[in-house]
Chains A and B, each alone.
Chain A
Amino acid sequence: NAGVTQTPKFRVLKTGQSMTLLCAQDMNHEYMYWYRQDPGMGLRLIHYSVGEGTTAKGEVPDGYNVSRLKKQNFLLGLESAAPSQTSVYFCASSSTSGGSYEQYFGPGTRLTVT
């Protein structure tokens, strides 16, 4: 099992450009999440999904859109990148069985917006 994978690992964008980050999980998890981590800070939730076709806003959703067309994939889009979106983005997934809702994280995508 690959667990949670993210594509790409690194990206540099110019202000105003758009891009999509892809998260894939092979654990058949129902829940998926996108977080961002800024230097010296903990992670902050951007958007999350409790199932295929459903998404919801987290703590810092502005400037981002998401889609979950397939259970195993969760896409994060930046329509018009801004320097404030320079960050490391982590995807995570969790299962509803067992009751722990433990989240498993991907390796991260380091995004720089110039």
Chain B
Amino acid sequence: ELKVEQNPLFLSMQEGKNYTIYCNYSTTSDRLYWYRQDPGKSLESLFVLLSNGAVKQEGRLMASLDTKARLSTLHITAAVHDLSATYFCAVGTGTASKLTFGTGTRLQVTL
């Protein structure tokens, strides 16, 4: 059974600081997705990582994938309040690319 673990589960950080969210998974996969969810809202796709060594950046967020270590990271640079949300990683498996989600990291950026 595939397990996807994120840490930390909760992160409070000041504006301007840097931090990294980690996503570990238990079986081989080369499809890793990051989503953002605001309270009471749906999931918004942030990044799609499809190969070992993949790195993608959008604004203050950068995601990477190491399939050998079964690890993905979401790095936040110079956080701003607008980044406050819950971030999920999800691993895709099988022909239908079924997603197994991590439990999420609730990020709170304080002024």
Contacts and interface: CB of A to CB of B under 8 A. Distances in A.
A21 B100 CA distance: 22
Interface stretch (A63-71, A79-87, A105-113): A105-113
Nearest to A101: B97
B33 A102 contact: yes
Contacts, number: 60
Nearest to B49: A100
A41 B33 contact: no
A90 B92 CA distance: 17
A48 B96 contact: yes
Contact of B50 (A33, A40, A100, A105): A100
B96 A31 contact: yes
A41 B5 CA distance: 11
B31 A42 contact: no
A90 B43 contact: yes
Interface residues of B, number: 23
B97 A42 contact: no
Nearest to A91: B42
A40 B33 CA distance: 19
A40 B98 contact: no
Nearest to A56: B96
B98 A41 contact: no
Given A42-B104, A43-B101, A100 B88 contact: no
Among A35, A101, A102, the most chain B Cβ lie within 10 Å of the Cβ of A101
B74 interface: no
Interface of A: 31, 33, 35, 40-45, 48, 50, 56, 58-59, 90, 94, 99-108
11 contacts: A40-B103, A42-B4, A42-B101, A43-B43, A43-B101, A50-B95, A50-B96, A103-B99, A104-B45, A105-B43, A106-B42
